């Protein structure tokens, strides 16, 4: 299957690209800078340089056309400033969803955040981030043209993945390794029965394959 990842140079995305390419998938990663291309190639992905803050929906749809699945893993990142929480964490996600529908790509996985809520209160940068992610999630979940899954990881670490997680509609707060987040996304993509679910993810005691199987169809 061909899979297109928005935010292809992110820490989770690079891990996911390695997993998917090792599993025989054809992976395309959308990036903002050509200087990131070699890292994607090293991970087994084809880089496409396209700025999702300024691209037209047809440009993004051209990249997505022919894919079997799309993953939104982009984010403005720490220190990016409050305005870019809206243009990237919300706006780019909505654009990517628009483009997926236009290109006929139904399977759509969003890497969101635990606590994402369009009604979240507060004026600090993280508050704005949670509102933006929540608004993006709300937009995607309202689309009948997408077989979406929203994944909301807890606090991310660079620890080596254990392959053991807690994946449920509600887990409570906790830490999770980026390795394990990538492994869960790869398994979600291979499990169509997880469409229509919003899931929280933290480290736990259940193997990834079992955790995804347990939530599938719920």
List the catalytic residues.
129
Q: How far apart are CA 111 and CA 13, in angstroms?
A: 10
**8 A C-beta contact, residue 89 and residue 134:** no
By C-alpha distance, which of 133, 136, 92, 86 is closest to 114?
133
**8 A C-beta contact, residue 166 and residue 211:** yes
How many residues are present in the chain? 218
**At 31, phi and psi to the nearest 5?**
-130, 165
């Amino acid at each position: 299957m061909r899979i297109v990842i928005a935010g292809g140079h992110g820490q989770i995305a690079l891990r996911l690209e390695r997993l998917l390419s090792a599993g025989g998938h054809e992976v395309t990663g959308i990036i903002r800078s050509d200087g990131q291309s070699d890292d994607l190639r090293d991970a087994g992905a084809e880089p496409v340089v396209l700025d999702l803050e300024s691209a037209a929906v047809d440009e993004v749809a051209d990249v997505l056309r022919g894919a079997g699945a799309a993953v939104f893993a982009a984010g403005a990142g720490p220190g990016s400033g409050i305005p870019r929480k809206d243009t990237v964490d919300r706006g780019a996600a909505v654009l990517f969803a628009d483009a997926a529908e236009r290109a006929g790509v139904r399977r759509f996985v969003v890497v969101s955040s635990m606590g994402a809520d369009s009604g979240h209160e507060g004026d600090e940068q993280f508050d704005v981030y949670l509102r933006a992610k929540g608004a993006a999630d709300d937009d995607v979940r309202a689309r009948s043209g997408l077989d979406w899954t929203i994944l909301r990881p807890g606090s991310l670490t660079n620890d080596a993945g254990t392959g053991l997680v807690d994946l449920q509609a509600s887990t409570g707060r906790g830490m999770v390794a980026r390795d394990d987040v990538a492994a869960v996304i790869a398994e979600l993509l291979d499990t169509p029965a997880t469409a229509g679910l919003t899931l929280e993810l933290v480290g736990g005691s259940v193997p990834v394959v079992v955790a995804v199987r347990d939530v599938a169809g719920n």
